[in-house]
Structure 1
Amino acid sequence: MEISCATPGASIYYTTDGTMPTSNSTAYNGAISLTSTTTIQAIAVKADMNDSAVAAVTFTRRSSSGGDISSVPGYDVSADKTENGAIAVSPQSASKGDTVTITATPDKGYTLESLTVLDKDGKALTLTDKGGGKYTFVMPAGKVMVKAVFMDDNTMLNFFTDVHAEDYYYDAVLWAAQKGITGGMSDTLFAPNAACIRAQIVTFLWRTAGSPEPKALSSFADVPADAYYAKAVAWAVENGITNGTTDTTFGPDETCTRAHGVTFLSRAAKANTAFGNSNFADVDANAYYASAVKWAVDNGITNGISSSLFGPDSSCTRAQIVTFLYRMYQGK
């Protein structure tokens, strides 16, 4: 077969393996010899000009006695412009009877509401859901148009109205809410920017561990037996995750600092054995939380508040603690 371009001085590049051609693909220098069914995709490239649209054609081997290669027309598979998501089709040109794959990828916080493939007469084609956002259809004789609609994913609205798709902690809070690890500060509010207190973090850890029954309730004077965090505190103490603020008090309402947070998590993970200096100027190598900070940074659970400071005494917000938990357990 031969390929030509009407633009003088343009170079032609092509592929035969189904990938999109670029200026790094095989340069066309003359007739191409084909011995089997092949789809040729080609572009024309010239300096100071935009690359041409991709041209594609499928050559199908006939079973005639001569064994000739003859051209079978390839029809365009076009995707309509979409918002809040992306549609990819492969191949972008196909012959009648070919299988075409559509991949639908919604933006964060959105979900695929509908997907339709229309033939040249506006008739909807049958789609097969392959899972993972992939769908296939059989190419008809003629061009087709793919149309998709992406809508808000309202899953979070079943939990909290103050956590939005663009928030860095969205996935973490959704994970925690779905698994019953955390509740909100009210029926509809998570309060992501509120300071996390000691009672909350041990409760989050306890629930993440499956809410195991402690051997006995603690004897802390400020932890009533009927408190929502009573079993969590007892479990945390039994497992060496944390102690009280004194011999007789736990301090359930005291704010959890960043140093406390990474220390509790590393002890719960039984991983507070990191060695070496974390290189933060405000983390003394002899600090009780030094190895926990190193472990947290090494495992991508949290970084410092700057390139040189960890901020061990800064308050941890509810969003931050849940995000730390999410990264810790999702990384397994």
Structure 2
Amino acid sequence: MILRTQLTPIFDKYDIDVVLQGHDHTYSRSKLLYSDGLTHDNYSMPLNAEGTDYDWDHAQNTATGELYTLWPEKDKAEQAASKKKFVDGSKCYTIETTAGNTVIDPKGTLYMTANSASGSKFYELISSQQDFIAARSQNWLPSYSVITMTGDSFSIDTYQILDTDKTEKIDSTFTIQKTGTTTSSDTALTRAEAVTRLYNTAGAPDVSAAASFTDVSSDTSYTKAVTWAKSNNILKGVASGIFAPDQKLTRAQLATILYRYAQAKGISTSVSGTKFSSSSDAASVPAWAKTALQFSMDAGLLNGSTVNANGDVTATAMDFALTKLGEQ
């Protein structure tokens, strides 16, 4: 984590698909991650006062020299605030929206952390699962991963060794497939594509009712996503009974979807509106989108110095917004 802000842009630059790492003594598989494109501080681990070893209790800002407590003592509010500042400063990633355990031509990087293969040492999992982790486990048993590669695919399976000397899988197979073609993440999303990304981020919940939009049939790839969004009051359509699935999503529409999704998740949508108000085009924003745009801009979900309410939304921009919303 100390070098996260330095390494993430490098992995993006050189199109690294998978990072395999150990020494954590727990098992974890990340979601697909790439840089959020923002400017972040860099960190290092300082030496101790004698200069004989690392100071394992602190991280250090390489520019300012500020030290951050890595292991706060119980009931030490100042130490806890110090760690939070470091953790928040290290949130330099965007979570790529994907569905299932087979991904094709992903933009992001998969991070795998091995547990103990020998069973010599295990660590407790931290109490809450990080937003960037897709799966993790600590079963106090030796485990190992098997990688299968072809000319255009990478798959990883992880097993644990039982007391009976038999093995069992502790995670589903994860596969990355490469087609040799490049799918641009900077292409404008349609409304159907955007709602599908939101639906997958929410965990693709089961749905039963019909979408009740006249232009959404029961057998499209986005029917469940639209049905879920409408039933949760996240989506209302562009007109009575009309969803317009092939219409390009605008920033105003995205902000409205994010605002309603935040409310459905119990996330506070109360903001000052300062960033929105300082935008040169704030006065031209349609009334129906104003509150949602105030929230989305002030919460850091939308980038840019102007509102650009009618601007297109790319996959990268939506991934960024959903990642930052998850941090609220």
Coarse TM-score class (shorter-chain normalised): 0.3 to 0.5
Higher percent of residues as strand: 1
TM-score (norm 1): 0.45
Q: Answer with 1 or 2: which has the greater Rg.
A: 1
* Bigger relative CO (Cα 8 Å, ≥ 6 apart): 2
Higher percent of residues as helix: 2
